[in-house]
Structure 1
Amino acid sequence: MFLAIRELKHSKLRYLLIGLIMVLVALLVFIISGLANGLSSDNASSIQNMKADYFVMEHDSKNKLNRSIISMEKLDEIRASSDVKAAEGLGQMMITLNKVGSSEKTDVTIFATNANGILAPKVIEGTNYDNKKQGEVVADRSLKEVGYKLGDSLKDDLSGKVFTIVGFTEKQSYSHSPVVYMNVKGWQEMNPALKNQDNDSISTIAVQMDSKAEDNVRESLSEDLTLISKDESLQSIPGFKEEQGTLTMMIAFLFVIAAFVLAVFFYVITLQKTNQFGVLKALGANTSYLAKSIVGQVMLLAVACIAISVALTYGVTLIMPEGMPFELSTNLVIKYSVLLLVVSVLGSLLSLYRVAKIDAIEAIGRVS
């Protein structure tokens, strides 16, 4: 490390420029990662935060909530299974609500479930809706941020039903729209797909159970039903898979670019120092010592640059527009910081190969 630190102090401008590039690449990785997480949460936080491991859906629904309709009788059958810890019905539909007394309209996703069940929303302001009383809803906090408040009335123009906001929840969105919770009976009365249904129905059944019981529960279902995992449900949300796939590919390319850029920079620097390395070898420095020096140099530079980029990332979040979905967890920062450090070290391996091939006698001859 002595040699690495001495060189960093001696060639400040050279390593400052390399460090700047590393900071910019790392900053871009963290910002895109935060946007990817933010978009994921904005698209599917209601499912991600749901206390369910699996979903039972109609077999022909292609794992989409809005295409599935299941009889409530199936809920009792699933609850009776010894493999199931808990199960709850969930109704879903996307509608446009009109604020009573205003021309303002908002696209929302309706989630209908038992107010006392495992899928009930956590109310952060106001009260929860009543299972028996019609017309009460709990809305995601994003509606409050755009001007809605407790007691506001919302009208569904399609069914003519009017709802009153009695509470607010948080982190509840689906397909980039805020989620509004209500009781199952209210959802059944306003859902046009159920007008010709004689029995009570829901969209899906959320199930809590161990993965070991998956096969048993799947075999117990009738042919018109299918069991899917929470991850499969997320992937079926319109645009979720494509959106996340694109951003993940961008992040992957950034890591590859970082590796190539660092490899080229350190290789060129190593070529410029061929004579010096040759002299050091002639004086008794072995290849492993020089390799440790290069790797130590890279790690020092990478750790400093990653720390600066993390600080800059959190600084950038302070000036981001309020409506921009951005979410960067501590675990993700640590994970990508380690990956960037690994990529930096891998990028220096080409330089190590060059150092190992340096011939001391030949290098001294060039110097003389």
Structure 2
Amino acid sequence: MFIALRDLWRSKLRFSLLAGAVGLLIFLLLFLNTLSATLLGFFIGAIENNSADVLVYEDTARRNLQASRIDPSVVGEVLTVPGVVAAAPIGELTLTATVDTELTDLSLWGVDLTGPGRPDPIVQGRLPGPGEVVVDESATAEGFEIGETITLIPSGTELEIVGYVQDRRYAVVATAYLDFTRWVDVFEQEFPGSPIIPLSLVAVEIASDEEAAVVGDRITAMVAGVEGLDRVSAASGTPGVDSISQSFTLIVGITFGIVVLVVGFFFLILTVQKLRSFVTLRAVGASTGYLAGSLIAQIIILVLLGSVFGTLLLMGATLGSNPAFPLSVDVRLVLTVTVAVLVFSVLSGLLSVRRIARADPAEAAQGTR
């Protein structure tokens, strides 16, 4: 450890530049993961974080909520399935609306405010009453603030915002929740003359001793024309999610590989340059394990410094992010990325350790490499 620290101190500029480069790459890893999580949260947060255990779609909708049209009678049929404790309708409409005189898009969800699928928890304000809604708090940057009135177009229906929910956004547009019976009224006003009021989903609460995926499969088998899914499957199966996830995974994977290669090749080159010093140390009694430990210690210190630098850059990026698309620092993500980079960097450093182990101490006495 003494050799590792002394070497770092004597080559401050070299190691500082490398730590900075590693920090920038770690920042890129953290930023891409944060960006991906935020984007997916805006896209499918209302499904992924839904209070229901199981979500039931029309079987031909291909897990697309906006294409799913379910007859209201299905709610009663789902209730008869073993393992189902409660079932409630969910309706979704994507509308044009104005709030604070600004024209915007709105995903309006009708839910049972006391049953599965309810907007829970309310992080500020209260549950909506007649003519009221709660909205996802990320929409505040777009003017959706408590006390403001949303006016639906073209019907002119007015809805007052009385509370916020968290991480319940859908399709990257402002998302609001109101009682299902009131949602039915809105549907009839927006689509007068419609013969039925189709449901988008059926939200299901299951027994405590049941598994969501199992009950979902049971619903699919026992109720005609529907597909029951647990929240994870419903969210990941939403059209477009797989493409987004794969794209970010590819970019993150390439960046991760670059970090590991940069660290590994740097220390391999450094080992070759200092091989005579290592040979001399071995000739005077230093063990291979001691020298390898010093090298690994340098890698650990370098990666940790880079991680701190990368995290500070991420914090700066989150502070400067647009309120309409807020980014935040996920401590668990930082720890996961740091540990992963650290482990694989140490593994890449084994090439340098192998080079040291193969050096012949007798070369020091001969004055050769």
TM-score normalised by length of structure 2: 0.88
Residue in 2 aligned with 1:221? 223
Pairing partner for 1:204 from 201, 220, 223: 201
Pairing partner for 2:133 from 120, 134, 137: 137
Q: Residue 173 of structure 1: SS of its match in structure 2?
A: coil
Matched, 1:32 2:28: no
Residue in 2 aligned with 1:182? 178
How far apart, in 1, do the equivalents of 2:107 and 2:333 lie? 29
Give the Å deviation of 1:25. Answer: 1.3
Amino acid in structure 2 at the alignment position of 1:170? V
Residue in 2 aligned with 1:280? 281
Q: Relative to 1, partners in 2 of residues 1:226 and 1:146: Cα closer, same or farther, differing over 3 Å?
A: closer
Give the Å deviation of 1:150. Answer: 4.5
Task: Note the alpha carbon deviations across 1:222-241, whole angstroms, 9 max, x for none.
Answer: 2x111223223223445333
Pairing partner for 1:111 from 104, 109, 112: 109
Task: Note the alpha carbon deviations across 1:173-211, whole angstroms, 9 max, x for none.
Answer: 11111111122234334447795444x531111223314
Contact 1:153–1:162 (Cα < 8 Å) also in 2: no
Residue in 1 aligned with 2:291? 290
Give the Å deviation of 1:151. Answer: 5.0
Contact 1:161–1:190 (Cα < 8 Å) also in 2: no
Give the Å deviation of 1:76. Answer: 2.0
Contact 1:95–1:108 (Cα < 8 Å) also in 2: yes
Q: Residue 116 of structure 2: SS of its match in structure 1?
A: coil
Instruction: Flag structure 1 segments of 5+ consecutive residues without an equivalent.
Output: none
Q: Residue 359 of structure 2: SS of its match in structure 1?
A: coil
Moved more, 3-12 or 146-155: 146-155
Match runs of 1:2-21 below 5 Å: 2-21=2-21
Task: Note the alpha carbon deviations across 1:310-336, whole angstroms, 9 max, x for none.
Answer: 233223322333333313322111111
How far apart, in 2, do the equivalents of 1:347 and 1:360 lie? 24
Matched, 1:317 2:318: yes
Give the Å deviation of 1:94. Answer: 1.0
Contact 2:296–2:349 (Cα < 8 Å) also in 1: yes
Contact 1:39–1:325 (Cα < 8 Å) also in 2: no
Amino acid in structure 2 at the alignment position of 1:167? V
Matched, 1:232 2:233: yes
How far apart, in 1, do the equivalents of 2:82 and 2:33 lie? 41
Match runs of 1:1-368 below 5 Å: 1-99=1-99, 102=101, 104-121=102-119, 122-130=121-129, 133=130, 135-150=131-146, 152-158=148-154, 160-171=155-166, 172-191=168-187, 195-198=193-196, 201-209=198-206, 210-211=211-212, 212-222=214-224, 224-367=225-368
How far apart, in 2, do the equivalents of 1:180 and 1:296 lie? 52
Task: Note the alpha carbon deviations across 1:248-301, whole angstroms, 9 max, x for none.
Answer: 222111110011111111111000011111112222223222222211221122
Give the Å deviation of 1:306. Answer: 1.5
How far apart, in 2, do the equivalents of 1:149 and 1:17 lie? 46
TM-score normalised by length of structure 1: 0.88
Give the Å deviation of 1:161. Answer: 4.7
How far apart, in 1, do the equivalents of 2:264 and 2:111 lie? 55
How far apart, in 2, do the equivalents of 1:153 and 1:63 lie? 32
Task: Note the alpha carbon deviations across 1:96-135, whole angstroms, 9 max, x for none.
Answer: 11349x4x211011111112223222444544333xx4x4
Q: Residue 322 of structure 2: SS of its match in structure 1?
A: coil
Among all aligned residue pairs of Structure 1 and Structure 2, give the percentage whose two residues are the same amino acid: 26
Amino acid in structure 2 at the alignment position of 1:219? A
Q: Residue 22 of structure 1: SS of its match in structure 2?
A: helix
Moved more, 161-170 or 61-70: 161-170
Contact 2:318–2:328 (Cα < 8 Å) also in 1: no
Q: How many residues are treated as equivalent by the alignment?
A: 360
Q: Relative to 1, partners in 2 of residues 1:80 and 1:193: Cα closer, same or farther, differing over 3 Å?
A: farther
Amino acid in structure 2 at the alignment position of 1:269? L
How far apart, in 2, do the equivalents of 1:151 and 1:24 lie? 43
Instruction: Flag structure 2 segments of 5+ consecutive residues without an equivalent.
Output: none
How far apart, in 1, do the equivalents of 2:319 and 2:99 lie? 32
How far apart, in 2, do the equivalents of 1:113 and 1:364 lie? 83
Give the Å deviation of 1:303. Answer: 1.9
Amino acid in structure 1 at the alignment position of 2:118? A
Moved more, 267-276 or 65-74: 65-74
| Pairwise CA RMSD | 2.5
Give the Å deviation of 1:7. Answer: 1.5
Q: Residue 90 of structure 2: SS of its match in structure 1?
A: strand
